[in-house]
A and B are shown apart, each in its own frame.
Chain A
Amino acid sequence: MSEGKGVWVFSENADLTLEMLGKGREIADKVGAELAAVVIGSNAADWANELVKYGADKVYLVDNAVFGRFQAEAYLSVLHNLVVNYKPETVLIGSTKNGKPLAARLATRLEVGCVPDCSRLGVDEKGRLVGERITYGGNAVAKLTFKTKPQIVTVPSRAFEKPQPKKRSGQVVKLDLKAEQAKTEVVETKPLETSNVRIEEAELIVSCGRGLEKKDDRVLLDELAAVLCGQVGCSRPLAEDRKWFSEWVGLSGHKVKPKLYIACGISGVIQHVAGIRDAKVVVAINKDEQAPIFEVADYGVVGNLYEILPALKEALKKQLQ
């Protein structure tokens, strides 16, 4: 392990922290560096110890009641302080709604670059950290690297696999750091009403687009999804324009990575396709044989979803028995 080469991960989100530890371990091993996690929180000692099992060689623990919940300036000042003192080469920050501005502000304080929302991340043959992100509304994938250090990267949820916990040894370094005074105040928090299972986590998605004629017709998708233990999704127009769904799959909505994505009556605009880039198998069902979705599907059926879906449900039921 060499000095000043450390790879760090930080997220206020537990799952994302573990996912980044998996990726962080891979990067650290490749460049011969130490992997460290930063934990900022309250009563977080157990969690800090837990992170060693997931690959951290070191955990910087800043544990104080004032850090019980995310506060932008407090977390930023602690993270900045740690980075300035221990000089990691790479910092992975979870790209949540709070994490991304945190990364942007940290990179600004340090006068360094930041590559946000890396769906892929690795070390190239020249030893450079290269992050891949979707840009230009799904028209392109940019591969970016850094001219300055520390290299700040943000990582979205579910981009990388959570590692299996192992019995291994690591060091928890407890630090007592002061927080910068808060400039913002959270005056109210209410839970967000969403479906119980998040679509990013679905293994199988049956999704519909403008080809669905009535809101109630989603029962066709529900039935197929039930047979496959999957979830139902939609493209942007059904959520934004028709308001039949509250969330959608696509670049501006949820980026998904199921084993199977069945696109029914979805034309396949580039923004939607960018959201299903990481699906293992894509099936397209569309009346219009010219629909661009067929270009990005593994299996295409030109036909009426109102006929195909019930038939597919029966066929799967029969063949899966």
Chain B
Amino acid sequence: MKRIIVCLKQAVDVTQLKVDPATRQLITASAPRKMSDFDKNALEEAVRLKEKNAGVEVVTVTVASEEAKTVLREALAMGADKAYVVNDAGLKDVDTLGTAHVLAEAIKKAGEFDLVLCGESSLDSFSGLVGSRVGELLSLPQVTSARKLSVEGDAVVGERTLEDSIETVKAKLPALVTVTREINQPRIPSLMMIMKASKKEIVTWTLADLAVDKAKLASKIEVVEVLAPKTERKRIRITGESVAEIADKLAKALIQEGVVKR
């Protein structure tokens, strides 16, 4: 194994997202960005494989419609050797298929590889489609939702948790693997690593640099609306002189609601 590609998304930090209470619209434009959590697990796994296998190079690929240098610097500090970013305003409204087309072309342009690692899902849109779409476009075997991973000779072996079983799956390299958050605890880069990373290379491409068929980038999905959920709860406070009184009132209310069996 010589080269691992990690697909990294710069995601909206959903824990710091604000909602306009009047319109229920999300204020995403000014919300802080960060490396999507699952992708960080994918990167950590790649760096661990590199540490176990001498001579392996870890390369990250990012698709963005805005500046993403902070995330890429963090990736390099964590142990990636080189970061590629396709940054183009034309990518603002692409859906999962368009993103996958750009990622696939960027991966091809970045050179030969043995393994592509992706997070199972992204922190913000949480679709969980892009990894499998990239794998399909590159005609790669896929191991999805891996919570353990190893490379054995010319194959990758992943353990995945299904609804009622745990499955161990083997795929011949080159392959694509999507990982869950259980797979590892990503490292926090030391100051030394951060300093070393500043010498590493970030390569920026635009769509014009890639062999992407622009017609394929048109979104196949139409967004009807994206709004903060309405809370249709009653919000009744139950109060009383004593704990027993409160409990009695609550029990009565629940029986009246018909949600506890008599």
Contacts and interface: CB of A to CB of B under 8 A. Distances in A.
Interface residues of A, number: 84
Interface string A287-320: 0000000111111111100011001101110111
Contacts of A142: 223, 225-226
A113 B95 contact: yes
Interface stretch (A25-33, A43-51, A182-190): A182-190
Contacts of A140: 19, 26, 226-229
A143 B221 CA distance: 10
Could you tell me the dominant secondary structure of chain A's interface residues? mixed
Given A204-B260, A320-B262, A184 B141 contact: yes
A257 interface: no
Contact of B14 (A137, A280, A303): A137
A220 interface: no
Given A107-B97, A183-B172, A191 B165 contact: yes
Interface stretch (A94-102, A160-168, A171-179): A94-102
B167 A104 contact: no
B170 interface: yes
Contacts of B244: 311, 314-315
B259 A204 contact: yes
Nearest to B251: A315
Contacts of A108: 97, 100, 132-133, 136-137
A111 B97 contact: yes
Interface stretch (A2-10, A54-62, A144-152, A210-218): A144-152
A135 B221 contact: no
18 contacts: A73-B141, A104-B128, A108-B100, A116-B128, A137-B14, A137-B17, A138-B229, A139-B19, A143-B223, A144-B224, A184-B171, A189-B168, A192-B162, A229-B261, A277-B229, A281-B259, A295-B233, A311-B246
Interface of B: 12, 14-15, 17, 19, 26, 28, 95-97, 100, 123-133, 135-137, 140-145, 157, 160-172, 178, 181, 216, 218-229, 231, 233-239, 243-244, 246-248, 250-255, 257, 259-262
